[in-house]
Structures are given as structure tokens and as C-alpha cells.
Amino acid sequence: MTKTIPATLIAGDGIGPEIMQSVTTVMDALGAPFLWDHQSAGVGAFDQHGTALPEATLDSIRRTGLVLKGPLTTPVGKGFRSINVTLRQAFDLYANVRPTQTIVPGGRYENVDLVVIRENIEGLYAAMEYYMAVDGDPEAVAYGAGFNTRTECNRIVRFAFEYAVKNNRKKVTLVHKANILKILSGLFLHEGRKVAAEYEGRVALEERIVDACAMELVIRPENYDVIVTTNLFGDILSDLTAGLVGGLGMAPGANIGEKMGIFEAVHGSAPDIAGQGIANPLALMMAGSMMLAHVGRQDLSQRLDGAMKQILQVEGLRTRDLGGKATTQDVTQALLRAIQ
Ligand code: NAI
Ligand code: MG
């Protein structure tokens, strides 16, 4: 086993260290080529170094361009800004890729296999917000603005079509609200149609208004293949799609830029169950699998996916969030056996 690819590893807060331990144990046993550079971020780093995102961590990320990251706690309403949002913007990680597949048998949906690709930097996440005073009430009106650029709309839709080509997918659905937000969402739709025309005959184009899409995803999720959309819609729809297949414990995500990738679980630090050894490590494990595919090790990625599918057939190996009683350690041990 040769470890030749340097990668930054951030265990994170709350359940982060528990699930990261599980993931690195399994990935190392699998023969993953990553040479882990352990760095810190989040509340743990803040308490230790006085900053939630130490310079050494940023240096490591710049050097490796490849990160496996546990969840980071963001203090609500005070303290430091979300590290996740900071990293996305600092490293131009413009595409958020969230695959959703049915792998737990006996759930509500049998044949879900879709990917939500969310624009990760612009839209309403620009958070240009302020209050306007009326009649002495300083907070009488809450005002918010967002922006989408032509360049970014083009780049994210192109990313989605290229993803479809590379992953042998047949259809890309552009999700928008251009009927109401004729300019903000309209630019995304028009730019998206232009890009789609270049892929005619190879990848089909479909268009959906976001509210109708939400309903259809609940009724007929198997009709969807690749979904591409702007930041806020993608945030909401990708949590919805995670819910179709067993919840946050089963949802991985990748933040991708031109030269960099940060791989993580969609869920947060789960402070309510931290330290109890009962967290589901599979979302982060799937993120690890995406990272393997990203560096061209589809062989290892597929073996890991296969092992996860195999153990989930056994009810006794499902964690509490999936209705079972298994511990994080039970899942780790079962995966170690399954990858042999
Ligand atoms: P959360 O995702 O941490 O937890 C929501 C619920 O899901 C909780 O009941 C939790 O126990 C459960 N859950 C989450 N992951 C699980 C897992 N792997 N196994 C079993 N159960 C799991 O969301 P919450 O409570 O809103 O946020 C907690 C903290 O995490 C906040 O500080 C938030 O800002 C942060 N957060 C960080 C993210 C990241 O680093 N990417 C993403 C989302 C939230
Ligand atoms: Mg979200």
C-alpha cells in the first residue's frame, strides 16, 4: 500500500472525531492513497488557538488542494463566521455536489439515484441584508438582495453537464424560479439553456420551477437524474433529497473548485449525540468514497460503496438514525470485514 497523495484531514467538532476515526480506519484498510495531514478548525481550534481557522490549516489546504472534513460547529448569532462558507468563498469552491441514492432497503423510495449540483458562492447567500426604518421603528422592513453572474451561471451549468457526461447520466434538470425572479433566476435559466445546447444529443435538458420540483421530488424522485440550481434552492432541495433515502446520516457532499475539493458529510456536528459513540459514520464515509473517485481511484470507491450497501442489508448494523441500535464501532468493524 503506497500513500502518495497528500490530503488535509480536519476531524471537526461534536461527533466529528468519532466518525472521522471510523472513516480513516476503513479507508486506510482499503488502501486509500491519501497521506493525511491532520489540521484543526472550528470550535476546537478556536478554544486551542484563538482562531476557528488557523493559518496552518489554510496553508495545508493550499498545499494539498484536497480535504476530508468533519462537521464544524458554528455559534449562532455571535462569535465567528461559518467556516464552511468562508472556505467555499476563499477557495472558489463553486460547485456543491450531493448524490442521493437508495441504499437502505425497506425505505419509502426504492429507486432514487440522483445528484443535486448546487451553485455554492452566489445567489441569496451573498447575504446583503439590512433593515429600513419606518415611523421610528428601526426594523420595520427587512431588506435582502442577492446576485448571480453570467460567468458563474455558465460555469455551474457546464459543471453539471460535464458531470453528466463523465458519470454516464442522461438528463440535467435546470431548477429555477424565473417566472417570479425574472432577472435573478432568469439569467441562470437563459445561460443554462445556452450551455445545454452544446450537449444536445448527448445529455437531455429539462427545466423545472423550484416549487413544482420540490413536489415532484417527493412523489416521483426516480424521474430525476442530475439537478443543477442556484445556491438557496440547492441548499433546500438537497436536504429534501437526503430525506428521501434515510436522512442526514446518509448524505455526503463535495465542494469543488477548479483546482480543489473539500469532501464532507452534509450533516452538522450533532452536539445532542456527541461523545456517545452512536453517530452514523456513513455520510462521511461516502464523502471519502467521492474523494477516492475524484482522484481517479474509482476501483476503491466502488469497493467502499459496495461494502456500505452490503452491511446496510443487515438491520443489526444500522445506527439509531436509521432505526437500528448499532454503534459507530459496530459499523466500522462490519465495514472492515466487508472490504476484505
Ligand atoms: P446536525 O446535522 O448536527 O443535527 C441534526 C440532527 O441530526 C440531530 O438530531 C443529530 O443528532 C442528527 N444527526 C446528524 N448527523 C448525524 C449522524 N452522522 N448520525 C446520527 N445522527 C445524526 O444539525 P444542527 O443540530 O442544526 O447543527 C449542529 C451544529 O453543526 C451547528 O453548529 C451547525 O452550525 C453545524 N453544522 C455544520 C455543518 C458542516 O460543518 N458542514 C453543516 C450543518 C450544520
Ligand atoms: Mg444546508
Set of cell numbers at residue 69 = 472534513
Residue 182 is among the residues annotated as catalytic for this protein:
no
For residue 80, the enclosing domain spans 1-99+247-340
Are residues 9 and 123 both part of a single domain? no
Set of cell numbers at residue 298 = 474509482
Distance CA 235, CA 293 (A): 23
pLDDT < 70 regions, the chain: 1-2, 76-79, 127
Query: Per the domain annotation, does 43 fall within a domain?
Result: yes
Residue 305 is among the residues annotated as catalytic for this protein:
no
Residue 325 is among the residues annotated as catalytic for this protein:
no
- Taking alpha carbons only, the member of 10, 38, 5 closest to residue 287 is 10
Domain count, the chain: 2
Are residues 119 and 93 both part of a single domain? no
Are residues 230 and 137 both part of a single domain? yes
Per residue in 28-74, pLDDT (tens digit) is: 999 999 999 999 999 989 888 889 999 999 999 999 999 999 999 98
Predicted local confidence at residue 78, as pLDDT = 63
Set of cell numbers at residue 215 = 413536489
Q: How far is the CA of 237 from the centre of ligand 2 (A)?
A: 9
Predicted local confidence at residue 108, as pLDDT = 85
Catalytic site residue from 13, 69, 163, 177: 177
Are residues 164 and 283 both part of a single domain? no
Set of cell numbers at residue 321 = 438514525
Amino acid at position 245, single letter? V
Name the closest-CA residue to atom 38, ligand 1.
268
Q: Name residues with Cβ closer than 5 Å to ligand 2, which is an ion.
A: 235
Q: How far is the CA of 112 from the centre of ligand 2 (A)?
A: 20
Handedness of CA 281, 282, 283, 284 (dihedral sign): positive
Q: In what order do the strands lie in the sheet with 5-10?
A: 34-39, 5-10, 66-69, 261-265, 252-256, 95-101, 113-119, 226-229, 171-176, 204-209
Identify the residues whose C-beta falls under 6 Å from ligand 1: 15, 19, 71-74, 84, 248-249, 264, 267-273, 279-280, 283, 319, 321
Residue 28 is among the residues annotated as catalytic for this protein:
no
